[in-house]
Structure 1
Amino acid sequence: MFATSLGEDGAELRPLEPWRAEEFLAHIERGREFIGRYVALPDFVTDLDSSRAYLRSYAEKAMNDTGRIYGIWTDGKLVGGVLFRTMDLQQGTAEAGCWLEPSAAGKGLVTRAARAIIDWAFEERGLHRVEWQVSAANEPSIAVARRLGMTKDGVLRSSYLYRGRRHDMEVWSVLAPEWSAAR
């Protein structure tokens, strides 16, 4: 079983695979409103079939080297995750993202998990750029981008229609040379 320690508190990062669909759905149910404030994940994962389909789509992305999804576990319980929503190995780019249920917020879990997958992207896969796209209203996620040492590239004004409302999206990024210099 693949698991990466996220620190002394026992938190772990593991691949989030289709066979975990029931556990994933239960996790989404616990955090549905909190997660759904800025992230559409709860709109896609509404029952066991959609949970399984969502995880299968990422299994397919992993197989095709176009994305990855990982869960964050604390005390044996799935509490959040990080992912590469997109990966383009030819261009050397990826877009990272995250979500967390409320019980796990404020503990640095997303920052530590994102650091682990960004390390992997640069060191193992040879990517050049990792992006973080976030609603301008999502202050906790923007704080993660800052803690990761990312640079704010700009704002895509009114670019994301979500639940009937337009959101400005901030684009943050870190380049491989910057990442290695900061390590």
Structure 2
Amino acid sequence: MSKIPLPPAPGADEHVSLALLNSTVLLPGEHRADELGTPEEATDWLIGHGLVPARTALLAYCQNQLAGLRGDLRLLFAAQVGGEAPPQRALDGVNRALAQVPSAPLLRHAPAGGFHRTPAHPVTRLVEHAMAQIAEDAATLLTGDDASRIARCEASPCDRFLLRTHARRQWCSTRCGDRVRAARAYARRQDRDPA
């Protein structure tokens, strides 16, 4: 897996949509790391986030669907951070993911355990079900109390999203924060010591 060499951004452990947004990142040196780069990596990502059962094998088509949802979500979150209207095609893409699978778990009965509820999604629709869960998480985050805390990392060139845990924190990791502080210190030195 093309692991992102940074810890999860604040909020990504609680919100799978942020984890998906940040499954690709632009790193210093203009190198892009992508945890969904191959069907196997996309499958590992879904398994790692508990969205599909272990030993699932997905096709490139499924990888492309997941990467497409990520692109739509990045546009929506960027619009939220920028205070702008999102592109309609991104809204349509997320709404398609929300509508792909039934949202209400079906009622089942087992002789040993009695009644219970389980989501109805055949194995062939695992990715659609996972995408619906991710889209639901994103919709809840974008419309909830935490929407105003969504931010984009300010450490260039990083383009990850986070939930601000402090008003002054504008970066996704200690590494990015160190880069921002170093750039500020360098700029102050340049202002004091003009060549």
**Structure with more helix by fraction:** 2
Higher relative contact order (CA 8 A, sep 6+): 2
TM-score by length of structure 2 reads 0.29
**Structure with more strand by fraction:** 1
TM-score by length of structure 1 reads 0.30
Q: Which has the larger radius of gyration?
A: 2
